[in-house]
Each structure stands twice: as structure tokens, then as C-alpha cells.
């Protein structure tokens, strides 16, 4: 199945990076909670449409337990993620997303019994190290600066929590998909997530929400939402075909694409300083690919 899950995951990474870049552009003029909520809300027509064409699977306790446990964790991860971006520099927060693949060396085995080979494990670690160093372009104080920043930057701690929560929700989502189907799960899970995030969007973005059509917040979220919906669908399909640790690790290439977008569209510095991280990530993908 590698000929299917790998291209899907690469397209998933591209879609996520594109959505994030467009979201960053929207955040220049609009409330971060409102834009994050709108980006997910506007995916619902795409996610709900398959319900008219796919059979409703026979659901069991595995599906319900996975969804009910994952939803509050996913909500917490989204809120911590937004808060981390708000209170701390990107160069001291984004590197910690690299630890999701590291957590995935253990979590899927504990929850699903999934095992990975030694070669695959090395590939995952290379991607984790590569994506960590990739986001240190603006940090001039060394590789350990994000760790030293944990004491003074709440955002760094928040992002570690996010990485850990993502490792759990990704694993639980695969369990729910196995008990249903990728498209059915997406059409149930993410509308429920929108409902859980709505009170936070109203509370933190209520001033701008009242005039979101006049102030163009709604329009600004359309393109980010389009690419986010593609990311969600390809994510669900790919994760149903490959071990969670492999799929999520390859998906972390979105950070590499994001660096390119940052240089191209936002004139961010440090693009030429990241060949090591790029090489490590690509080598990790190669090892995972050969392993599969």
C-alpha cells in the first residue's frame, strides 16, 4: 500500500503547509481564535458531503470510546496550539512539534499494538531531529535554546503538551477509523470538534465575530479552509493505510514546506541555514519508504 499512503501523506503535508501559510496571512488582520475556528468550520460542507454517498458502517464500542476520548484532547490541543503561537516566538515553539513522532514510537504500540521496525524507528527519529533543527533558523543561541526557554516561555511548554496530545489523538483516530471508515469518521469527528471549539471562538473573538463579513475575516478564512479540508481527507485516508508513527512522521514534512513558504511569501530569514534539517528529514522519509 506504500504506493497509495505515501503520495497521500505528501499531499496532506503540502495542503497543511499551504493552509498554515494562508492562515498566517489572515492572522495579520484578524483574531487568531476566530480564524482558527472559521478555518475548521468552513471545512464542514466538504466533510459532510460524503455522508450522502457512503454507507453508514455498523459502529461498535471501539468507535465511540475512541471518539469520546479523542475529542476533548483534540480541543485542548487546538487551544494550547493557538495560545502557544500567541504568547511566544515561533522559533521557540514550533521545534517542539517535532516530538509528536517521538511520542508515536510508544503511543500506537500501547493503544493499538502497532509495531515498527528498527529501520522505521531510525527514520522517524531522523525526521524528528530534522524538523526540530529546521525551526531553529532564527535562534542564534544554540540547539538547546528552546529547552532553556521552557522556564521563561509558556508557549514552549504549551507546544510540548500539543505534541503529546497529537500523538494520542492521531492514534485514537486510527482506532475509530478501523471501526468505521476514513470518510465517515471525518464527517462525524470534525463537526463535533467545531461544536466544542465554538464557545471559545465566541468568547475570545466575539468582538470581531459580529462583523466578520464586513471586516473580511470570513473571506480571509476561505482559502485556508479549502486546503485544510483537503489535508483532513488525505490524512484520514493515509492513516488508515499505514502505521500511525510512519504516516505522522512523513506528514511533518509540512514544516519543511512551511519554511519555504515563509521565505517566499513572508521574507523570513534563515532559509539558507536549514540544509541539515532538510537532509535529515528527507533521509528519514527514504528509510521509512524502503522499510514499507
What is the reported pLDDT for 1?
47
CA distance 95 to 112: 27
Q: Where do the structural domains in the chain lie, given as residue ranges?
A: 2-291
Distance CA 233, CA 126 (A): 26
In this prediction, residue 20 carries a pLDDT of: 86
Residues in Cβ contact with 200 at an 8 Å cutoff, skipping those fewer than 6 apart: 33, 37, 79
Q: Are 121 and 243 in contact (CB under 8 A)?
A: no
CB 217 within 8 A of CB 224: no
Give the CA-trace dihedral at 118, 123, 128, 133, to 10 degrees. Answer: 130
| pLDDT tens, the chain, 292 aa long | 457 999 999 999 999 989 988 888 888 788 888 888 999 999 999 999 988 888 999 999 999 999 999 999 999 998 888 888 777 666 567 677 878 888 988 999 999 988 888 888 888 888 888 877 766 655 556 666 666 666 666 777 888 899 999 999 999 999 999 999 999 999 999 999 999 999 998 888 877 887 777 778 888 899 999 999 999 999 999 999 999 989 998 998 887 887 778 777 766 665 565 667 777 878 888 888 776 6
Tell me what pLDDT residue 273 has.
58
Entry pTM: 0.86
At 142 the pLDDT is 62
In this predicted structure, what is the pLDDT of residue 237?
A: 94
Amino acid at each position: 500500500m506504500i504506493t497509495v499512503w505515501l503520495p497521500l501523506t505528501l499531499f496532506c503535508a503540502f495542503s497543511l503547509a499551504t493552509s498554515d501559510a494562508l492562515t498566517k496571512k489572515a492572522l495579520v488582520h484578524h483574531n487568531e481564535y476566530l480564524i482558527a475556528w472559521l478555518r475548521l468550520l468552513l471545512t464542514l460542507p466538504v466533510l459532510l458531503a460524503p455522508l450522502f454517498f457512503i454507507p453508514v458502517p455498523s459502529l461498535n464500542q471501539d468507535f465511540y470510546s475512541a471518539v469520546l476520548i479523542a475529542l476533548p484532547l483534540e480541543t485542548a490541543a487546538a487551544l494550547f496550539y493557538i495560545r502557544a503561537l500567541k504568547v511566544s516566538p515561533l522559533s521557540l515553539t514550533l521545534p517542539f512539534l517535532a516530538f509528536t513522532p517521538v511520542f508515536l514510537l510508544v503511543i500506537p504500540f500501547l493503544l493499538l499494538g502497532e509495531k515498527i521496525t528498527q529501520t522505521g524507528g531510525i527514520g522517524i527519529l531522523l525526521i524528528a531531529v530534522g524538523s526540530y533543527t529546521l525551526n531553529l533558523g532564527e535562534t542564534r543561541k544554540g540547539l538547546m535554546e528552546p529547552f532553556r526557554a521552557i522556564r521563561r516561555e509558556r508557549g514552549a511548554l504549551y507546544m510540548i503538551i500539543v505534541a503529546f496530545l497529537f500523538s494520542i489523538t492521531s492514534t485514537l483516530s486510527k482506532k475509530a477509523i478501523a471501526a468505521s471508515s476514513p470518510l465517515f469518521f471525518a464527517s462525524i469527528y470534525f463537526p463535533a470538534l467545531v461544536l466544542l471549539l465554538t464557545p471559545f471562538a465566541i468568547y475570545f473573538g466575539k468582538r470581531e465575530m459580529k462583523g466578520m463579513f464586513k471586516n473580511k475575516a470570513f473571506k480571509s478564512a476561505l482559502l485556508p479552509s479549502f486546503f485544510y479540508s483537503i489535508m483532513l481527507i488525505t490524512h484520514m485516508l493515509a492513516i488508515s493505510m499505514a502505521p500511525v508513527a510512519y504516516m505522522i512522521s512523513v506528514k511533518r514534512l509540512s514544516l519543511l514546506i512551511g519554511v519555504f513558504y515563509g521565505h517566499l511569501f513572508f521574507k523570513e530569514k534563515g532559509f539558507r541555514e536549514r540544509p541539515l534539517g532538510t537532509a535529515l528529514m528527507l533521509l528519514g522519509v527514504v528509510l521509512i519508504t524502503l522499510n514499507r
